Structure 1
Amino acid sequence: MNTDRILARYLVETPLDPARVAEVMAGEQSCGTFARVAGETDALRKRARATVQGITTLATTSAPSLPNAWLTRHAPSGPWHQVQIDIAYPVANIGANLPTLVATVAGNLYDLGEVTGMRLETLQLPADYRTQFELPAVGITGTRRITGVDQGALVGTIIKPNVGLSPQQTAELVRTLCEAGVDFIKDDEVCANPVHAPLAERVPAIMAVVRAHQERTGKHVMVAFNISDETDAMKRHADLVAREGGSCVMASINWCGYSAMQTLRRHTPLALHAHRNGFGALSRHPGLGIGFQAYQTLWRLAGVDHMHVHGLQGKFAQADEEVVQSARDCFTPLISGLDDRVLPAFSSGQWAGTVPATWDAIASDDLLFMSGGGILAHPDGPAAGVMSLRQAWQAARSGTPLADFARLAPELCRALTFFGQ
C-alpha cells in the first residue's frame, strides 16, 4: 500500500450518487468543507486531500436504514445504495497522534447528511506509521511467560459477585481460585474503586494471597485489577499493583479513552487488559459504527496486551462468526514482520461445553478462555470447574467428543450434566 497514506474501508448507505458522496467524505475529513474556500489551492489539495480509492456496489434498498433529518428536508425518492468505499488519508495530516487519527477516520463522517448508514470496517497502516506508536509490553508471549503456561489455552475467571465483596472477602475468593488452578483472574468491569473495596485495600489483600500461592507452588496467577479512572489516578493505581508484585491491570477502554491508555502504557510495564464494554453500542447495527478490525487496530496503537472478543455460543449478541474473526484480527500483526499481536480474551457464558466450538474455529490455544459461572458454579466447586475446562481442551485438541472423554473425566461429566441442561 501507499507508504504515506492510511487506507480506510467504509460501508455506506445513501440515496445519492455514491461517487459524489465518496468525494464529500474525502473532502470533509481532510482539507475540504461544503464549498471550496480561497485557500484551498490545487497544490494544497494535492498534498493534503484524502482520495477515493474505490467504490463497490453491494446492494440497494427501498428504505433508509437510519433516520436523517437532512435528507428528510431534501425528500429523496431512493433507492438507497449500499456501497463499500475505500478512502486514503495522508499521514502528514495526522502525524503520530492517535486521537486525531480516530477523529479523521471515524469523526464527523457519522454526521454527514448525505448518508443513512456509515460504518468504518477496516484500517490498513503504513509500516513506518505503525512503528511510531506503542507496542504491547507483554502480549501473548509475555503473558505465557509470566503465568508459566507454555502451552494450552490460559484458563481464567472473573470475580463474582461482580461487586459487593469486601477486600478480605475478595482475597479469600482469590485464594480459592488460585488453589483451584486458574491462570488468570480479573475484576468485573463495574468494580474498580468502590467504597466498600477500594483499590488501596483490595490490591494489597489480594496480592498477599497471590504471593503466598506463588511462594508455595511456584505459580504466578495473573490478576487484572480494574483501575479504570481518570488518568493520573490510573497511574497511581498501576504503581500500587506493581509495588505489590502484580502483573496486570485492566481498564474499560471506551470510557477511559485513547490518550489515557497511551499514557498508561508509557507509564507502566504491566500487562494492559483492554475491556471493551460498550463496544456493542459502537458495532451492533450493521449500518453504523465500527467493525472490530478497525476498532482493535486503533486500540493496539495504544499498546494494549489483551483484547476482549466475547465468546462462542455465549450470552451476548455477537454471532459466532464475528467472535472468530475478532480473534483472528487479534492474531494478525498490523504490519508484516512485527509481532504486535494481542491475546484475545474469550468470555460471556463460557464453560466446558463451548470449548470444542472455540478450538474448531480458532485452531489455536493462544487465547485466554475466561469462565465465571462455568468455574464458580460447577456443582463440585471451583477446582472441578477449572479441571472440567482443562479436560474439555484436552478432548478438543485430541479430536475426542466431550461425551466420550467425559467417561473417564468426572469433572467434565458433571459439567456437561449440570450446565448442559
Structure 2
Amino acid sequence: MSSAKSYFPQLKDITKAKINLNDVILKTPLQKNLNLSEEFDANILLKREDLQVVRSYKLRGAFNKIVQLSKEEFKKGVVCASAGNHAQGVAYSCRKLGIKGKIYMPATTPKQKIRQVEMFGKDNVEVVLIGDTYDAAHSAATEDCQKTGMAFIHPFDDPQIIEGQATVGLEILQDSVEQIDYIFIPVGGGGLAAGIGAYFKQTNPQTKIIGVEPAGAPSMKHSFDAGKVTELENIDKFVDGAAVQRVGEHTFEICQKVIDDLVAVPEGRICTKILELYNRDAIVVEPAGALSIAALDFYREEIKGKNVVCIVSGSNNDITRTEEIKERSLLHEGLKHYFIVRFPQRAGALRTFVDVVLGPTDDVTHFEYSKKTNREKGPAVIGVEVQKKEDYLGLIQRMEENGFIYEYLNEKQDLFQFLI
C-alpha cells in the first residue's frame, strides 16, 4: 500500500468503485429541499444517503474494499470493529459476497444496532461484544486479524474505502444540472470528505468543499491546526457517526488538499435540525446525518443565491434517543433552564414561585425538592422551559425581586450532568 502522503484518489479508481457497486447500492436521489431553500435564499439540494440500502453511505466503502480482496483473503474472511454504520455495511457486504465476517462491537452497543448488523449479515456474520468502548473492540479485532490472517476492514483510513465513498460525489455530478457552488460534507474519520473532495477537485474544482464536524469531537480541525494527525483526549460521543478521537493518516493528507473550510457545529444545533427535518420534511436522520444541514447557519450570507449540496449521510437513529435530542435542542436554543433554588421552609413558598416568579407561558418540566428539617431553607432542582429565548431574563428578574436564592446549572456542566 502506498504511503498516506503519496496516495490521492484517482478518477479511474473511483469509476472502478462505481462499477463494483452498481448492483449493490442504490443510486440515492439528489433532492431540492424547498424549506431549506426558502430559509437560506439558496438552491439547497440534499444527497439522500439516509435512503441507502443499509441507511448510510458506509456500504459503498465497505463493499468496494471487500470485493477487491484476493482469493486467499476471501477464503479467510474479514474482521471489522464498529458500533454503527460501518458494521452494517460490512455485514451486508459479507452476505452479498458469501464470505465470513467477524464484527467486534463494544458490549455497551444498543441492542437495536446489534440486531441490525445480525439482520444484514445473517449466517455470514458473527458479532462479538467486547469491552466498554470502541477502542477495546478495535484492539480485539486487530488482535484477531494477527492471529487468523483475516483481512481488517478499516472504517475510513483505506484507499479502497475512500474510493467507495467518493462515488457519492460521482453521483452528485451525474445528477446535477447546474454548477454546484458549495458542498457540505460531514467529517468523522474523514473517509467521506476525502473521497468526495478528491473527486470534485479533479472534476469540478470551482466547488467549495466544506467539512463539518461536531463541536464535541473536532478531530480533523485539531489535526489541521497541529499540521499532523493528532488524537483528542476526550470527545462528546453524542454524534456517534462522526465522533472519532483520531482521523486517518490517508484521510488527513487528502482532506488537507481538498477541504476549503472546516466548521464545528454544536451538538444542540444538530439536535434542532434533526427535529426540524422530521417535523417539516418527514426526514429521519441520525445526528451525523444532520451535520451538513446544521452547518448552513454559519454560511448564511455566503450561500445566498448559490447552488448548495448537503450530504445527508445516514438515518440509523435509535428512537430511544428522542428525549435526549429534544433536551439538547431546547438547551442550545436557550429555551430550557435548570436551577438550584433555595426555598424558605414556610407554607406558600412554592406557591409564590409558581404564581409570581413563573411567567404566563413558562413551564416547570423538572422538580426535585429536598426538605432539610434542621435548616431554614430547602434546595430544589428546577427545570423551566420558556416559550421564547428572551423570556429567560424576565424569569431571572422575578426570582431576584422575590428573594429567591438560585444557582444556574446550564453553565456548570459537571454539576449539571450529576444532578439532571
> TM-score normalised to the size of structure 2?
0.23
